[in-house]
Amino acid sequence: MATVTIKDVQTILTQPEGSRLIIVKIVTSQPGLYGLGCATFTQRFHAVHAAIEKHLKPFLLGRDVSLIEEIWQMAMVNGYWRNGPVLNNAISGADQALWDIKGKQADMPLYQLLGGKCREAAAVYGHADGRDEHEVEDSARKYMAQGYRYIRIQMGGYGGQAEKLVKPEGAQPGAYFDPKAYMRDMLRMMEHVRTKIGDEIELLHDIHERLQTIDAVQFAKDVERFKLFFLEDPLAPEDLEWFHHIRQQCSTPIAMGELFNSPREWQPLIAEKLIDFLRMHVSQMGGVTPARNVAAFANMYGIRTAWHGPGDTSPVGHAANLHLDLWAPNFGIQEWCRFSERVYEIFPGTPEVRNGYMYPNDKPGLGIDVNEELAAKYPCTDEVIGWTQTRLPDGSPTRP
């Protein structure tokens, strides 16, 4: 049988809603056979586009599509410096596309190639939010009415009362927040929501790395009484050693990983059981190949998956998440941000969620396609990102 090779590597950039999405399309030497992958790093889409077009594409052209692992290993070191954003995103997209191709060749959904299903669908959580605790409760009840049993509760996005802050004269512009006000407000909000909706609903919360390390330890202890399903990103990747202090002082389940790029970030947290859920962005960590390996490694330590699934993961990336979710024996929960009908039109096969579960369509590979003509109607726009220019009340720059 003739070897099927990589004939072309194309990048599809589209912004049908807020997020700028990056799709890699690998066209093979077999007529009609191609694969799709998500390489989305929404804040730096030009850089990922250039990395794909100028560096990864020349490296990939002509290679045997069956050699997924070999290509992944070689691609990761081909630029010498490795395990960072942008290049990882490019490789993630190509890797997902190669798995999509292999599934199409095998005429099987990707989850079959990983080892088959451990579940028929992936339980998902949605994002409840509001300006005060009553609005958050109302938002959570809307999800409950749709059958969701897992709900992330935030108040004012990632919180911090920007509108009330006292800043110094001449303070620089930016996305201000007060971490201490955030802590007080969130405890009040969680108390209200847990009291009102009861214990059967699993509540999640995302600190988004926005507390001082010692305050993160305190907050994890303070929320213990609300029995969260998990508390996400209590610390920044730069402060990984502080996870020991949280683990030693409280039993709040911890989720971490969306900001990770390197095995050196997740490996110690898994081996020392310092977290409970892995939150990596599969389009950031290198694709399905490393995600599958890390899920299996984490399974040995009782740690579950909760792959990153925001609006700045493309529907192709959500499809990759879903296949990993259906297979993994240690699946925890899947984050899901409902797309508009427009996005479903651009990406036929985008996973459907019913009664709090995400279902596959059982088409081969990732089971998703892209209408390139329609995608081209929503070109990515340039923007200096504002929400990540975060500042403390006195104007000090801080992590977003």
Give residues in contact with ligand GCO (CB under 6 A). 42, 206, 208, 258, 308, 310, 312, 335
Please say which residue, 72 or 176, places its beta carbon nearer to ligand GCO.
176
Instruction: Enumerate the β-bridge partners of residue 151.
Output: 126, 203
Instruction: Enumerate the β-bridge partners of residue 37.
Output: 24
**Beta carbons within 10 angstroms of residue 393's beta carbon:** 20
Please say which residue, 113 or 306, places its beta carbon nearer to Mg ion.
306
DSSP 129-194: --SSHHHHHHHHHHHHHTT-SEEEE-SSTT---GGG----TTPPPSEE--HHHHHHHHHHHHHHHH
Instruction: Enumerate the β-bridge partners of residue 365.
Output: 109
Helix axes 87-106, 315-327, angle to 10 degrees: 60
Q: Could you tell which of Mg ion, ligand GCO, none binds residue 42, using a CB distance below 5 to 8 A set by kind?
A: ligand GCO
| Calpha distance 356→321 (Å, rounded) | 16
Minimum gap (Å) between residue 327 Cβ and ligand GCO: 22
Minimum gap (Å) between residue 102 Cβ and ligand GCO: 28
Minimum gap (Å) between residue 246 Cβ and ligand GCO: 18
Contact 279, 232 (CB under 8 A): yes
Q: Is 158 a catalytic residue?
A: yes
Minimum gap (Å) between residue 170 Cβ and Mg ion: 33
Q: Could you tell which of ligand GCO, Mg ion, none binds residue 310, using a CB distance below 5 to 8 A set by kind?
A: ligand GCO
Site for Mg ion in 194-233 (CB under 5 A): 206
Minimum gap (Å) between residue 231 Cβ and Mg ion: 11
Minimum gap (Å) between residue 208 Cβ and ligand GCO: 5
Site for Mg ion in 246-305 (CB under 5 A): none
Residue among 111, 143, 158, 182 flagged as catalytic: 158
Q: Is 208 a catalytic residue?
A: yes
How open is the CA angle 36-42-48, to the nearest 5 degrees?
65
Please say which residue, 185 or 206, places its beta carbon nearer to Mg ion.
206
Please say which residue, 206 or 325, places its beta carbon nearer to Mg ion.
206
Which residue is closest to ligand GCO by CB? 310
How open is the CA angle 172-176-179, to the nearest 5 degrees?
135
Please say which residue, 49 or 102, places its beta carbon nearer to ligand GCO.
49
From the number of C-beta atoms within 10 Å of its C-beta (0-12, 13-18, 19+), residue 219 rates as buried
By CB under 5 A, the count of residues binding Mg ion is 1
From the number of C-beta atoms within 10 Å of its C-beta (0-12, 13-18, 19+), residue 387 rates as exposed
**Among 22, 31, 21, CA closest to 52:** 22
Q: What is the DSSP letter of 328?
A: -
Q: Does 312 bind Mg ion (CB under 5 A)?
A: no
**Among 153, 247, 233, CA closest to 193:** 153
Which residue is closest to Mg ion by CB? 206
Contact 52, 90 (CB under 8 A): yes
Please say which residue, 157 or 395, places its beta carbon nearer to Mg ion.
157
Please say which residue, 20 or 127, places its beta carbon nearer to Mg ion.
127
Tokens of 175: 């996305």
Residue among 205, 208, 281, 323 flagged as catalytic: 208
Minimum gap (Å) between residue 364 Cβ and ligand GCO: 29
Tokens of 200: 């059967």
Q: What is the DSSP letter of 7?
A: E
**Chain residues that interact with Mg ion, rule: CB under 5 A:** 206
Residues annotated as part of the active site: 158, 208
